[in-house]
Amino acid sequence: MYRNKKTGIIGIIITIIILILVVILSNIDIKNMSYIENAFNSLVMPIQNGLTYLKNKVEGNNSFFDDISNLQKENEELKTKNSQLEQSLRELEILKAENETLKEYVNLKDKYNEYETIPAYVINKDITNYNNTIVINIGEKDGVKPNMTVIADQGLVGHVISTTQTTAKVQTIIDTASSVSATMSTSDEAIIVTGTLEKASTLKATYIPTEAKVLENDKVETSGIGGIYPKGITIGTIKEIVDTKNITDRYAYVETAVDFKKIETVLVIIE
Amino acid sequence: MRGGESLKKFLTIICLILTFFVIYFLQANFFTWFTISGVMPNLFIVLVLFIGLFIGRKLGFVFGLIFGIYLDLMLGKAVGISGIMLGLVGLIGEYLDKNFSKDSRVTIILMVIGSTAFYEIGSYLFQVIRWGALIEILPFLKILALEIIFNIALVIILYPIIQRVGNYVENLFKKKEVLTRYF
C-alpha cells in the first residue's frame, strides 16, 4: 500500500516535470538561446567568484572587510535608495504602458481616418484549439452591430458576429470558418483567403486566377467584394506559393499583417 | 438526515459549477501560454466526463449541455454545438461507468482519450459542415494528438484528486450501499 502510494506520487512528480519540459521545449525559439548561456553561467559563476575571492585574499586584497560597520550603514542607505528608485520605476512603467496604449489609438485613428471608427480593447480570446474568435469591450450601446469590420494598426482583424450591450464577439480572419475576398498587389483579380489550422498567423489563398503572376512578398488587401470588408485594408503578404499539377488548384500561404497572439487594441469601423 | 444529504448534494453541485469557472479562467489565461506547440488542453471534457462517470443519473449530460451552451454564448460562432458535444461526453461517461472499472488509472486515461477524440472530431465536423471550414486532416490530427497528450498528462497529475473526490460524490449521489442481509 505504502509502496503504491509512493510510486504514485513519484509518477505524478515525473509527469509534472515532463509536462513542463515538453511545454518549454515545444515553445522554444531556437534563435534565442541566451538563457542556456545564463544557466551555464549561473552554474559556473559562483565557483568562479569563489576562486577569484580566494585569489584576491591570497594576494592580500581583502580590504573590503576592514570596516564592517561602515559597510552595513552604507548598505542600509543603498537599500532605502533602491526601494525609492523601485517605486519611481513602477510609476514610470504604469505611465509608459498608458502612453503606449494612447499612442496605439492615435496611430490607428490616423491610419484609417477615412473611416469612422471606435477603439476597443480585446477582453477575451477563444479557449479552444480550432476556433479563433475574440471578444472586445464595446457593444450595442456604442453603436457596434454584426458584420462591422474590425481592424488593428497593422491591418484586418475580422468582423463582428454578435453583440451584447457592452461587448462584441469578433470572428478573426485566421478562424478556419473565415473567408475573405482579396486582391494581390500584382493582380486586380479577386482571390479568396481562408483561415487554416496549420499555423496561427497564416491564411490560405485559393482561387488564384490562372493568368495571375503570384510573387512572394506580394501585398494582399481586401477587395471590397462580399459586402462586409471595405476595399484596401491590408491582410498580409504572400509567404509561399504552392504549385500543383493543375494550375487552377494552385494556392499560396499568406502571413497576416496582424500578430493575433499579441493583439490588444482594435478599431471597429462604424461607417 | 435526508435534509443534510440534500444540502451536501446542493453544495457538491455548487462546487462543480465553481470548478467549471476555475477551469474557464485557467483555459482563458494560464493555458493560453502554457501550451504544447501552441496547443492547449481541454479540461472541460475531463470535468464533464468526471461528472458522467461518478455522478451519472443524467447529470453529466445536463452539466455538459449547460457548460457547453455557456461556452458557445461566450466565445462560439453558434450556440449549441459545444453544448451538444459536451452533453454527449457526459452521457458517454455514464455509459463507460456501467461497463468499465474507473479504479484504474489506465482505464481513466483511455476514457479521456476516447472522449477528447469524440468531442473534437464532432466539433470539427460541425465546423466543416456548418461554416464551410477547410478540411485539413493532417493539421487537425496533429492538434488533436497534442491535445490528447496534454489532457492525459493533466489527468495523471490530477488522478488522486479525481479518485478521492469522485468516490465521495459517487457515494453521495449513487448511494452504493452494501446489502448486508445477503452476506
- In this predicted model, what pLDDT tens digit does every residue of B123-135 receive, in sequence order? 999 888 888 888 8
CA B162-B72-A144 angle, to 5 degrees, is 140
What is the pLDDT confidence band of residue A193, given thresholds at 50, 70 and 90? Answer: very high
Same domain, A152 and A87: no
Q: How many CB pairs under 8 A join A and B?
A: 99
Same domain, A187 and A102: no
Would you state the cell numbers that stand for residue A181, as one nine-digit string? 475576398
Cell numbers 479504479: residue: B103
Determine the pLDDT at residue B146. Answer: 94
Quote the domain boundaries for residue A191. Answer: 116-271
Domain boundary among A56, A85, A109: A109
Determine the pLDDT at residue A98. Answer: 78
What ipTM was predicted for this assembly?
Answer: 0.79
Same domain, A167 and A228: yes
Q: Residue A48 domain-assigned?
A: no
Q: Assess whether pLDDT exceeds 70 at residue A35.
A: no
Determine the pLDDT at residue A87. Answer: 84
Alpha helices (runs of H) in chain B, residue ranges in sequence order: 2-25, 31-33, 43-54, 59-75, 81-99, 105-131, 137-174
Same domain, A88 and A143: no
DSSP, collapsed to helix, strand or coil, labels residue A48 as: helix
**Dihedral sign (CA B12, B18, B20, B23):** negative
- Tell which of B75, B81, B105, B138 to mutate to test the A interface (max A CBs under 10 Å): B75
Domain boundary among A89, A109, A129: A109
Give the closest residue to A132 by CA, choosing from A56, A81, A198, A67: A198
Q: How many domains does chain A have?
A: 2
Task: State how far the Cα of A251 lies from the Cα of A241, in Å rounded to an integer.
Answer: 6
Same domain, A98 and A132: no
Q: Residue A62 domain-assigned?
A: no
CA distance, residue B7 to nearest chain A CA (Å): 33
What is the pLDDT confidence band of residue A58, given thresholds at 50, 70 and 90? Answer: low
pTM: 0.73
Which of A22, A179, A197 has the CB atom closest to B36's CB atom?
A22
Which of A124, A196, A200 has the CB atom closest to B75's CB atom?
A124
Determine the pLDDT at residue A86. Answer: 86
Same domain, A230 and A152: yes
Q: Residue A52 domain-assigned?
A: no
Q: Assess whether pLDDT exceeds 70 at residue A1.
A: no
Same domain, A192 and A271: yes
> Tens digit of pLDDT for each residue in B3-28?
677 888 889 999 999 999 999 999 98
CA distances from B140 to A62, A214, B82 (A): 65, 28, 18
Q: Residue A167 domain-assigned?
A: yes
Q: Residue A5 domain-assigned?
A: no
Task: State how far the Cα of B120 lies from the Cα of B81, in Å rounded to an integer.
Answer: 11
Same domain, A184 and A231: yes
Same domain, A103 and A131: no
Instruction: Kindly report the CATH number assigned to the domain that includes residue A253.
Output: 2.40.10.340
Cell numbers 488587401: residue: A221
Domain boundary among A109, A134, A169: A109
Q: Residue A188 domain-assigned?
A: yes
CA distance, residue B157 to nearest chain A CA (Å): 5
Residues in chain A within 8 Å Cβ distance of B134: 176, 194-197, 204
Q: Residue A11 domain-assigned?
A: no
CA B49-B52-B55 angle, to 5 degrees, is 130
Q: How many CB atoms lie within 10 A of CB A217?
A: 9
Query: What are φ and ψ of residue A120, in 5° steps?
Result: -155, 160
- Does the beta carbon of A102 lie under 8 angstroms from any beta carbon of chain B? no
**Dihedral sign (CA A107, A108, A111, A117):** negative
Which of B75, B157, B159 has the CB atom closest to A16's CB atom?
B157
- Tell which of A176, A179, A260, A261 to mutate to test the B interface (max B CBs under 10 Å): A176
Q: What single-letter DSSP state applies at residue A156? A: E
Q: Which residues of B touch A (CB under 8 A)?
A: 24, 27-28, 31-32, 34-40, 42, 71, 74-77, 120, 123-124, 127, 130-134, 136, 139-140, 143, 147, 149-150, 153-154, 156-157, 159-160
Same domain, A103 and A126: no
Same domain, A140 and A266: yes
Same domain, A121 and A102: no
CA distance, residue A129 to nearest chain B CA (Å): 6
Q: Residue A23 domain-assigned?
A: no
What is the pLDDT confidence band of residue A55, given thresholds at 50, 70 and 90? Answer: low
Would you state the cell numbers that stand for residue B19, as one nine-digit string? 470548478
